[in-house]
Amino acid sequence: MLADQSDLRGQNLPDISRLKLQERESTFSDIASEYSVPASKLGKTKKSRRTVDFLGTSATVNTGFLFLFRLLAFSFLFFQLIVWYVIADWSYQPPLLFLTNWGFTVCIGYFGCATCCSFLKLFTRRRRLGFAFYLAVCTLFEVGLLLEGSITVLYWSLIYPGENLCGMTCLSAHAVSTSCITLDYMFNRHYLEARHLRRVLVVCAVWLTTQLAWVYTGHTGVYKVLTLRDSMSIIVVLGANFTLTVVFYVLQRLGRWRDYINGDYESQPFSHLDDLDDYEL
């Protein structure tokens, strides 16, 4: 095991750009084993500890603009949440049963947390946040981006035009939240890693459980295309999961293109390996 930084530099490490391409999906322990770097030290560089910088800044726009954008998005969506959940009549079907509501609520949670991160960057000297908070913000973003975007748009294109079910409140809430979180993806430094797809699929599985509980307790299904009482429902579920997977990888490619255009590598996996001087051994 390496004892100091000079020993680490003595290793014949491969080119960092090649490492990113070949080991993007490897775990920290795999890399540690291959290059004799303690696994406990990977991910603990000065760069990787700047969670406020990562979550609260942008390589595209300045931090002040990003903070204002997130604050306005959060304020509008939170107002819509109050109007939608408090004023609307949900007595016939609880809001928990609608997957689009899950995506909308997750978007509000993300913008609330992201606004706080940009605020900390602008007005405080704090640069580190707990790992649990960091993980929660990343999960909220990934789930919100995929659900609110793909589920809402696809469902509108397949169902709403024929049945005219979505009123102005519904349109303003989902259209604005989808636009806001997509724009935020173009501004922020988040990178969609392939292994994170399961987070979205797990959320969808939990939602499907609520549907099963609702339908098989004597109620009518929320969506006519998903009655959960015929074989077509199985096809719909499998097709939806396949579509979410495709959309996820399309968004991942879009994120790579964003970082390439901006020359921003802070959001790329293992970017902390770029500068070995940052190791704290």
| pLDDT tens-place string over residues 109-141 | 999 999 999 999 999 888 888 888 888 999 999
| pLDDT tens-place string over residues 196-246 | 899 899 999 999 999 999 999 888 888 777 888 888 888 988 988 898 999
Ordered by start, the domain boundaries in the chain are 63-262
Query: Is pLDDT larger for residue 278 or for residue 14?
Result: 14
- What is the spatial distance between Cα 159 and Cα 154, in angstroms, rounded to a whole number? 8
- What is the spatial distance between Cα 201 and Cα 197, in angstroms, rounded to a whole number? 7
Query: Is pLDDT larger for residue 193 or for residue 26?
Result: 193
Q: Give every CB contact of residue 32 below 8 A, 6+ residues apart in sequence.
A: 38, 39, 41, 42
pTM of the model: 0.74
Q: Worst-scoring range by mean pLDDT, 84-88, 165-169, 255-259?
A: 165-169
One-letter amino acid of 213: A
35 pLDDT band, cuts 50/70/90, is very low
Please check the confidence at residue 27 and state whether its pLDDT lies above 50.
Answer: no
pLDDT value of position 44: 41
Please check the confidence at residue 89 and state whether its pLDDT lies above 90.
Answer: no
pLDDT value of position 157: 66
Q: For residues 221 and 99, is the Cβ–Cβ distance under 8 A?
A: no
> What is the distance in angstroms between the CA of the first residue and the CA of the last residue of the chain?
11
pLDDT > 90 in the chain, percent: 28
The dihedral built from the CA positions of residue 145, 147, 150 and 152, taken in this order, carries a sign that is negative
pLDDT value of position 82: 86
pLDDT value of position 46: 41
Please check the confidence at residue 104 and state whether its pLDDT lies above 50.
Answer: yes
Half-sphere exposure of 57 (CA within 13 A, CB side): 13
**Mean pLDDT of all residues in 239-262:** 89
Return the structure tokens found at 234: 């199985």
70 pLDDT band, cuts 50/70/90, is very high
**Mean pLDDT of all residues in 53-61:** 88
User: Is 262 buried (19+), middle (13-18) or exposed (0-12) by CB count in 10 A?
Assistant: middle
**Mean pLDDT of all residues in 96-105:** 86
Helices (H), the chain: 5-10, 16-22, 28-35, 51-56, 63-82, 99-123, 131-146, 152-158, 160-163, 168-187, 197-215, 231-262
Please check the confidence at residue 184 and state whether its pLDDT lies above 90.
Answer: yes
Separation in Å, CA 49 to CA 134, 173, 212: 10, 35, 42
**Mean pLDDT of all residues in 3-17:** 48
pLDDT value of position 279: 30
Half-sphere exposure of 19 (CA within 13 A, CB side): 19
**Mean pLDDT of all residues in 166-194:** 84
Give 45's DSSP letter. Answer: S
**SS3 annotation, 109-177:** HHHHHHHHHHHHHHHCCCCCCCHHHHHHHHHHHHHHHHHHHHHHHHHHHHCHHHHCCCCHHHHHHHHHH
Cα dihedral 221, 224, 230, 231, rounded to 10, equals: -130
pLDDT value of position 8: 45
Estimate to the nearest angstrom the gap between the alpha carbon of 174 and the chain centroid.
Answer: 17
**Mean pLDDT of all residues in 55-84:** 91
267 pLDDT band, cuts 50/70/90, is low
